[in-house]
Amino acid sequence: MTKFEYSLIIAVSFLAFNSCSNFKTIPSSENPEPKIEISSNNYGNYLAGRIAHYRQDFNTAADYYKKTAQNDTQNTALLNSTYLILASQGRIDEAAEYARLAQKQHNTNEFIPILIASEQFKKAHYQEAIASLQKNKSPLYKKLISPFFEAWGYTGLNDYKKAISALDKIKNEKGMEALYHFHSGMINDYFNKKDAARLHYEKIINSQEMELSIRSLEIICNFYLRSDNKAKATALAAQYNYDIPALGILKHIYKKTADADTKNIKPQIQTPQMGLSEAMFNIAAIIKQNPEAIDFSHIFIRLALYENPNNHLARILLGGILEMREMYKDAMTVYDEIPASEPSYYLAQYKKSENLRHLNDYKGAELLLKSLALDYPNDYQILLDLGDILRLQEKYKEALKYYQQALEKFGKKTDSLWQIHYAIGITYERLGEWEESEKSLIEALKRDPNNLLVLNYLGYSWLERNKKPEEAFNFIIQAYNQAPFNSSIIDSLGWAFYRFGMYDKAVTYLEKATDADPANAVINDHLGDAYWQSGRKNEARFQWHHALSVKHDSSEINRQKIKQKLANGLAAQVLPQYDKEKIQKIITKINE
C-alpha cells in the first residue's frame, strides 16, 4: 500500500452565493474539436496554434489563431476558436474584433453578442451594448445575463427606473434572490437612494435562505460606513470574523471596517463598469459549479476583470479556474497581481503555496508558508500545511513541531481535529516512534470514526506489525467500501489478503491497484510478491524490476530487498496468527 495519502484542500466556495439557480448547463466551446478547413499556405500557423492549445498555452495559441484568421476572415469555425480563446485570456478588445467578423458571416454563436456588448460597455457605449445583447436569442442568456447588462447599462445612461426595472426579470428566479437584492442595493446606492439600498441589503443580511458572500459583505460594510453607521458595519463584519481557513480575508474586512475613517470612505462601486464586473463575477461563480461549463466560467471571469481590473476577488476565482485546468503557473501569475493591501491577498498567497506543492516545489512552498505564518500566527491551516510540506521533504521533527502548534490553535473545532492527529500519527511513524504514532491515529479515529484515510493507514500499520489482524482487516474493508477506486486503499486490501496467505485474492486486488496507479513503486512491489507466492515467477520479477524503475512512492520501498528478491526469489511467507472464521465473515462485508 502507498502508506499515506494526505492532502488538505481549501474550497473557496464562500466566494459565490452558494445557492441553486436555473443556470445549470452551458455547453463548452472554448476547447472544441472543430472541423476547420485551412488552406495549405496557412496551415502552419493553425497547426502551431492547435499544438499550443492542447498544451494549454492559450496566449500563444491565440496569437497563432489570429495569424491564421487574418488570412481567412470568412472561416466561421476558425473565427469561433479565435475569439473564444482570446476572451479566455482577457484579450476582450481583440476577441470582440473577431466576434464581429464572425457576426458578418451570419454566425449565430450565442457568445458573440456578449463579447461585443462587453467591449461597448467598457467604452461607456451603454445603449449600443444593450442593443447588442438583444441580438442574443437564447432564453437562458436573455433571462439571466441580459438583465445585468441592461440594469447597469441604464445606470450608465442615468435612467434609474429602467435600471431597476431590468432587474425585475430575475426577481422571482429561484436561486437568484440574493443577486437581485445585491445588485438592486448597489444600483440604488449608486443613485444615492440610501433608504432603498439599505432595504435590499438588509433583505440579504436578515434572510435565513440567502447566503452572504464575502464580496457582498465587503460592499454592504462599505455602504454602512458611508451612511454614518460605523457601529452597524463593524457588528456585521464581526459576525463573520471566524477562526477558519482563509481567515485573513475576513479579518482584513473586519479590521478595515473597524479602523475606517468615515469621512474618507469612497463607494466600492463607482462606475457602471464596476457594477457589471460584479455581475460577471457572480455569473462565473454560478457556472463554475458545473465542471462541464468551465470554459464559459473562464471567459465570464475574464469579462469581470475586463470591466474592472481591480476586482481582486475575481482574480481569486480566475486562479481557481486555472487550477481546475491544472495550469498552476498561470494561476500563480494571477495571484501575484493582487496587492498586499487587498483583503484577498492572504488567500492568494495561501493558494499560491498549494500550487507550488502541485508543482513539487516543496522548498518554495515552505518558504512562502513560513512567511505567511509570521503574518498570521494563529492560522492553524498555515501551520498544518507547513507540517505537510516539511514532512514531504522528510523533515519530520520540524514537521511535528508545526503540527503540534496547529493542534494548539485548533481550539474547539473537534470536527477538524482528526486531520491534525492523523498528520501527527504519520509523522511519529516516520520517526520510528510507533507507540506515539498509534496513539495519535487512534485519537484521529475517535474524532472521525468513518474516515477512510485513518481507517486505511491504521489498519495497514497494524497488519505490518502482526497486530490486531481481524480489526485491521475490518478497518481496511471499511475504507475500501467507501473508496473502491482509490489505488492506495485497493493496495491495502490486496496486501491484507497477501498477509493472510490468500494469494489468488491478493493478486486480483493488487492487479486492480496497479491498473489504477501503474507508476506506483509500492504497489508494483506488492504485486510482485503476490505473483511469486502464486507461482508466477517471471511476472513477479517483471513487477519488481518495474518497482525499481518508477518514481511514485519510490522512497517507500526497500530497494536492496527488491534486488535480493530479484536475485534469490522470495521465501515462503510466515503467516500471522488470526481467527480464520472471523476473517471469512469480514470478507463478506466487501462491496463490489
Tell whether 320 and 393 lie within a shared domain. Answer: no
Q: CB atoms < 10 A from the CB of 507, how many? A: 20
Tell whether 256 and 166 lie within a shared domain. Answer: yes
Tell me if 37 is assigned to some domain.
Answer: no
pLDDT of residue 8: 22
Q: What angle do CA 499, 450, 585 make, to 5 degrees?
A: 45
Does residue 242 carry a pLDDT above 80? Answer: no
Q: What is the mean pLDDT of residues 443-450?
A: 94
Tell whether 424 and 473 lie within a shared domain. Answer: no
Does residue 16 carry a pLDDT above 50? Answer: no
Q: What is the mean pLDDT of residues 187-204?
A: 96
pLDDT of residue 74: 86
Does residue 7 carry a pLDDT above 80? Answer: no
For the domain that residue 275 is a member of, what is the CATH number? Answer: 1.25.40.10
Tell whether 266 and 320 lie within a shared domain. Answer: yes
Domain extent at residue 528: 464-592
Does residue 41 carry a pLDDT above 80? Answer: no
Reported confidence tier of residue 39, pLDDT bands at 50, 70, 90: low
Reported confidence tier of residue 377, pLDDT bands at 50, 70, 90: confident
Tell me if 417 is assigned to some domain.
Answer: yes
pLDDT of residue 413: 60
Tell whether 353 and 370 lie within a shared domain. Answer: no
What would the DSSP string read from start to end of 290-313? SGGGHHHHHHHHHHHHHH-TT-HH
pLDDT of residue 173: 84
Does residue 544 carry a pLDDT above 90? Answer: yes
Last residue within a domain, chosen from 449, 483, 510: 449
Reported confidence tier of residue 135, pLDDT bands at 50, 70, 90: confident
Query: Which of 405, 449, 451 is CA-nearest to residue 427?
Result: 405
Count of domains observed in the chain: 3
Tell whether 368 and 303 lie within a shared domain. Answer: no
Tell whether 436 and 509 lie within a shared domain. Answer: no
pLDDT of residue 12: 27
Last residue within a domain, chosen from 359, 380, 399: 359
Does residue 6 carry a pLDDT above 70? Answer: no
Higher pLDDT, 244 or 579: 579
Does residue 27 carry a pLDDT above 90? Answer: no
- For residue range 331-343, list pLDDT tens digits in order: 999 999 999 988 8
- For residue range 399-417, list pLDDT tens digits in order: 999 999 999 887 666 667 8
Does residue 15 carry a pLDDT above 60? Answer: no
Please report, rounded to a whole number, the percentage of residues in the chain having pLDDT higher than 70.
91
Q: What is the largest CA-CA distance in the chain?
A: 87
Does residue 354 carry a pLDDT above 60? Answer: yes
Tell whether 366 and 347 lie within a shared domain. Answer: no
pLDDT of residue 17: 28
Taking a C-beta distance cutoff of 8 angstroms, is the pair 358, 328 a contact? yes
pTM: predicted TM-score of the whole model, two decimal places: 0.82
pLDDT of residue 35: 54
pLDDT of residue 21: 32
Q: What is the mean pLDDT of residues 233-247?
A: 71
What would the DSSP string read from start to end of 483-548? -TT-HHHHHHHHHHHHHTT-HHHHHHHHHHHHHH-TTBHHHHHHHHHHHHHTT-HHHHHHHHHHHH
Please give, one letter per residue, the 3-state secondary structure of 392-428.
Answer: HCCCHHHHHHHHHHHHHHHCCCCCCHHHHHHHHHHHH
Q: What is the mean pLDDT of residues 543-550?
A: 94
Reported confidence tier of residue 550, pLDDT bands at 50, 70, 90: confident
Tell whether 200 and 322 lie within a shared domain. Answer: yes
Compute the mean pLDDT over every residue in the chain, rounded to the nearest whole number: 88
- For residue range 422-439, list pLDDT tens digits in order: 999 999 999 999 999 999
Last residue within a domain, chosen from 424, 449, 474: 449
Tell whether 173 and 305 lie within a shared domain. Answer: yes
Reported confidence tier of residue 352, pLDDT bands at 50, 70, 90: very high
Q: What is the mean pLDDT of residues 92-107?
A: 93
- For residue range 271-301, list pLDDT tens digits in order: 999 999 999 999 999 888 888 889 889 999 9
Cα–Cα distance for residue pair 231/236, rounded to 1 Å: 9
Tell whether 352 and 473 lie within a shared domain. Answer: no
520: which strand partners?
Answer: 552
Does residue 150 carry a pLDDT above 90? Answer: yes
Does residue 349 carry a pLDDT above 80? Answer: yes
